């Protein structure tokens, strides 16, 4: 039966409307799934391939011989345990820890008996934190014939005319910016140790300490910007807005890491606009690796090569597994091959030249094949679907995603700088916000210097205590010697 033209048109319109509604439902279901995962689910983006052969990368590595387990018969047959155990044994106490000897005498009378040996048992003990007052006593000496008085110079203090020493000041800073302990909790901690410190006093100490290290921070900035390869990322921080009662302003830490030297820099700005990195990197030349945030596109110029992060491209495909498992899994397996190559380079400590050769041989073919697949697949998927967004994100950026394979110094992703900003995410949950824009910038200085200590394996308290002791008398032209 032939339907009238008006019914055919109406049916076509209804089909189109249903298709739009289906796409919208699919999109909302995906958003709901991601929201539930963010709140309740695992944050891990790890993808495990079912078929191990899918990630074979063709390395001819020597096989590990399988040792046959010995068997013995008792009343039944069982596998005999090997002498080797995975248990690492009891922990060994470091030699630098002080030892306090305690002699335990037997209850029996040992008068006149000969000692033939000893048994030593070590147990780890501690005393709760204790404060003490450092008294600097300077004797005055009268010169002959009443010509004056001689007295020793007073040792420098991190805070001029202040009553806090370098060790306590360093402890407060480290507990706040490394251990994420807000000042009000530290005040209670000091109270338990027998010393009440007013909140305003402790806040002033932190502010003055930031003013003291500001020149060292500027030296750190100059040192990092000398690099020709930086990774950049940004993270938020809530800042108390004094113009609006009980309101906070969202500020941003722009983070830069020099991969070669291990230095890290946090730079605070009130917005996430282009003016932050534009001002800081205006004289930078070299490779700049980012997550693809459009603000960084301004650096695609003659002296800056913009490299993108493979982990961010991969993330979209991982999120699309529930939308189109077959297509998403294919992309993830191919990217997994690339990371297997990087893991091999890392575990075998390959030089940048050997790493480049291996990438050219193994990584480039995978990247080119995946690029061809993206171009063929983009026309087969709905642009607004999760898999469509994943492909649409990766395809126009693929040339910049491939750049790492052409220089052995470059990393495949931005994870090094992302790891550097994790302490801020933990700190946000503890102290919630910075008291002002000035306080946020002060925090950026401490995060930069103490974060560099962490990345270089330097104990932050001892380093900062030493800095507070020597910095007041240190020559400005030698500040670079004090960097972690």
Report the candidate in 133, 127, 152 with the shortest Cα–Cα distance to residue 141. 152
Tell me: pLDDT of 62 over 50: no
> Any bridge partners for residue 238, and if so which?
250
pLDDT at 34: 66
**What is the reported pLDDT for 85?**
56
* Full DSSP string of 342-383: HHHHHHTT--HHHHHHHIIIIIHHHHHHHHHHHHHHGGGS-T
**Alpha-carbon Rg for the chain in angstroms:** 31
Q: Cβ contacts of residue 428 below 8 Å, gap of 6+?
A: 236, 237, 238
- What's the pLDDT at 78? 56
Nearest-angstrom CA–CA distance, 275 and 269: 9
Whole-number pLDDT of residue 96: 82
Average pLDDT over residues 129-143: 83
Residue 308 has pLDDT above 60, yes or no: yes
Higher-confidence residue: 396 or 146?
Answer: 396
Question: Residue 302: pLDDT above 80?
Answer: no
Does pLDDT of 261 surpass 70?
yes
Cα–Cα distance measured from residue 267 to residue 253, given in angstroms and rounded to the nearest whole number? 5
Q: Say which residue, 464 or 42, is predicted with more confidence.
A: 464
Give the residue with greater pLDDT, 461 vs 109: 461
Split at pLDDT 50, 70, 90, the class of 142 is confident
Integer Cα distance of 431 and 179 in angstroms: 11
Residue 157: the pLDDT is 83
Q: Between 225 and 57, where is the model more confident?
A: 225
Which pLDDT belongs to residue 39?
67
* Predicted pLDDT at 381: 87
Torsion angles phi and psi, residue 98, rounded to 5:
-65, 145
Q: In whole angstroms, give the CA distance from residue 307 to residue 287.
A: 7
Res 213: pLDDT: 92
> How many C-beta atoms surround the C-beta of residue 192 within 10 A?
9
Q: What's the CA gap between 360 and 345, in Å, rounded?
A: 13
Count CB-CB contacts under 10 A for residue 380.
11
Which residue has better confidence, 119 or 354? 354
Between the alpha carbon of residue 150 and those of residues 37, 192, 347, the distances in Å are 72, 41, 63
pTM, to two decimals: 0.74
Q: What is the pLDDT of residue 61?
A: 43
Mean pLDDT for the chain overall: 82
Tell me the pLDDT tens digit for each residue of 320-349: 888 888 898 999 999 999 999 999 999 999
pLDDT at 9 over 60: yes
The whole-number pLDDT of residue 370 equals 93
Question: Which tops the pLDDT comparison, 205 or 432?
Answer: 205
Residue among 319, 290, 315 nearest 305 (CA): 290
Confidence of residue 112 (pLDDT cuts 50, 70, 90): confident
Percent of the chain predicted with pLDDT > 70 = 82
- Give the Cβ contact number of residue 357 at 10 Å: 13
> Residue 54: which pLDDT band, with cuts at 50, 70 and 90?
very low
pLDDT at 372: 94
Of the spans 77-86, 89-98, 145-154, 312-321, which averages the highest pLDDT?
A: 312-321
Specify the higher pLDDT residue, 52 or 219.
219
User: Residue 373: pLDDT band by 50, 70, 90 thresholds?
Assistant: very high
Average pLDDT, stretch 356-380? Answer: 92
Q: d(Cα 292, Cα 312) in Å, to the nearest integer?
A: 8
**The predicted structure's pLDDT at residue 300:** 75
What's the token pair of residue 86?
């995975």
pLDDT at 358 over 90: yes
The secondary element (H helix, E strand) that includes residue 235 is strand 229-241
- DSSP lists the bridge partners of residue 237 as 251
User: Residue 240: which pLDDT band, with cuts at 50, 70 and 90?
Assistant: confident
Predicted pLDDT of residue 407? 92
pLDDT of residue 64: 41
Q: In the prediction, which pLDDT does 419 show?
A: 78
Q: 119-128, 135-144, 274-283, 336-345: which has the highest mean pLDDT?
A: 336-345
Q: Which two tokens stand for residue 271?
A: 């917005």
**Mean pLDDT, to the nearest integer, of 224-251?**
81
How many Cα atoms within 13 Å fall on the side-chain side of residue 265? 26
pLDDT (average), residues 366-385: 90
């Amino acid at each position: 039966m032939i339907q009238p033209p008006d019914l055919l048109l109406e049916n076509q319109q209804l089909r189109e409307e249903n298709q739009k509604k289906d796409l919208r439902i699919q999109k909302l279901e995906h958003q709901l799934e991601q929201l539930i995962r963010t709140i309740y689910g695992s944050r891990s983006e790890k993808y495990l391939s079912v078929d191990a052969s899918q990630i074979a990368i063709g390395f001819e590595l020597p096989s590990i011989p399988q040792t046959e387990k010995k068997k013995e018969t008792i009343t039944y047959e069982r596998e005999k345990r090997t002498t080797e155990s995975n248990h690492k044994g009891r922990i060994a106490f470091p030699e630098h820890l002080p030892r306090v000897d305690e002699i335990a005498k037997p209850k029996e009378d040992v008068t006149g008996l000969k000692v033939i040996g000893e048994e030593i048992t070590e147990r780890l003990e501690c005393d709760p934190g204790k404060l003490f007052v450092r008294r600097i006593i300077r004797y005055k000496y009268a010169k002959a014939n009443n010509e004056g008085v001689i007295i020793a110079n007073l040792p420098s203090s991190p805070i001029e005319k202040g009553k806090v020493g370098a060790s306590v000041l360093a402890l407060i800073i480290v507990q706040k910016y490394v251990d994420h302990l807000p000042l009000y909790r530290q005040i209670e901690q000091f109270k338990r140790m027998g010393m009440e410190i007013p909140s305003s006093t402790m806040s002033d100490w932190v502010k003055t300490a930031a003013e003291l290290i500001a020149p060292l921070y500027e030296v750190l900035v100059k040192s990092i910007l000398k690099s020709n390869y930086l990774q950049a990322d940004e993270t938020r921080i809530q800042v108390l807005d004094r113009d609006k009662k009980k309101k906070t302003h969202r500020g941003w830490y722009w983070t830069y890491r020099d991969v070669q030297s291990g230095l890290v820099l946090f730079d605070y700005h009130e917005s996430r606009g282009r003016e932050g990195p534009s001002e800081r990197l205006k004289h930078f030349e070299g490779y700049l690796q980012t997550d693809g945030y459009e603000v960084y596109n301004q650096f695609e110029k003659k002296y800056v090569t913009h490299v993108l992060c493979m982990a961010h491209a991969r993330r979209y495909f991982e999120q699309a597994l529930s939308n189109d498992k077959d297509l998403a899994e294919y992309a993830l397996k191919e990217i997994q091959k690339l990371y297997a190559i990087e893991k091999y380079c890392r575990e075998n400590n390959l030089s940048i030249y050997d790493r480049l050769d291996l990438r050219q041989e193994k990584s480039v073919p995978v990247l080119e094949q995946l690029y061809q697949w993206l171009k063929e697949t983009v026309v087969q998927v709905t642009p607004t679907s999760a898999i469509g967004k994943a492909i649409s994100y990766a395809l126009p950026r693929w040339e910049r995603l491939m750049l790492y394979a052409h220089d052995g110094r470059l990393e495949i992703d931005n994870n090094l700088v992302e790891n550097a900003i994790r302490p801020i995410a933990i700190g946000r949950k503890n102290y919630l916000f910075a008291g002002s824009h000035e306080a946020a910038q002060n925090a950026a200085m401490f995060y930069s210097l103490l974060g560099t200590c962490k990345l270089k394996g330097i104990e932050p308290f001892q380093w900062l205590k030493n800095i507070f002791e020597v910095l007041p008398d240190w020559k400005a032209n030698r500040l670079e010697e004090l960097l972690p």
